[in-house]
Amino acid sequence: MQARLQEIRSHDRVGRTTGELSGARWVDRFRGSSSLKDLRGAFRDRAEAFVEALRAAGAVVTISATFRPPQRAYLMHWSWLIVKRNLDPVTVPEMNGVEINWAHEDAEGNYSRQLSVIAARAMVEGFNIQGLGVAPALRSRHTLGFGIDMNIRWNGVLAIPDAYGNIVQITGTPRTGMNVQLRRVGESFGVIKYNRAGRDDPHWSDNGT
């Protein structure tokens, strides 16, 4: 019976069953950039101007991601869905150029969903995406060079100029990138806070996606 169940499971697989097993080692593959210089076109100039205004006003800005290779987006997307949405690892589709096997086996050679999920969780934690409310997109403003993830914080009142030179006094909370007044300042520069379903607190882009 066990062999028959394993045979049935194997026929249901749509992902790769060969290649290097998933796990924390994949976090260092296909590394992206945290440099504003790797953003594209006019958005690069707008993001640089916004970040410069923030820092000149006394805010601490920590940029964690700008450009993200599609291969890295693939790893982040599917590992997050396995951990956060209970997706069966054997159903993850393949991606050309990413020789990853999401399906781990136990000591007896049988598919182990538990071990597969543990490996995916190590990737989620390594990518530092365990707090995201939505899965990292396969095709996003990051993979196109129009997205930036950054943590912003400050103490007291933040007096920051918008793109038109008007000084905006931000007195309310939170003193983070989720502040509504700060979001309006960002919009004046053409840097839009994430405004779609779910939460993606660090994410800004050229269009809010």
> pTM for this one?
0.74
Length of the chain: 209
Set out the domains of the chain in order of their start, with CATH numbers.
Answer: 2-30+70-127 (no CATH), 36-68+137-205 (3.30.1380.10)
Residues 6 or more apart whose Cβ sits within 8 Å of residue 203: 147, 148, 149, 193, 194
Angle at 19 between CA 99 and CA 142, to 5 degrees: 25
pLDDT digits (tens), the chain, 209 positions:
344 334 334 434 456 667 999 999 999 999 999 999 999 999 999 999 999 999 999 999 999 999 999 999 999 999 999 999 999 999 999 999 999 999 999 999 999 999 999 999 999 999 999 998 889 999 999 999 999 999 999 999 999 999 999 999 999 999 999 999 999 999 999 999 999 988 889 999 999 99
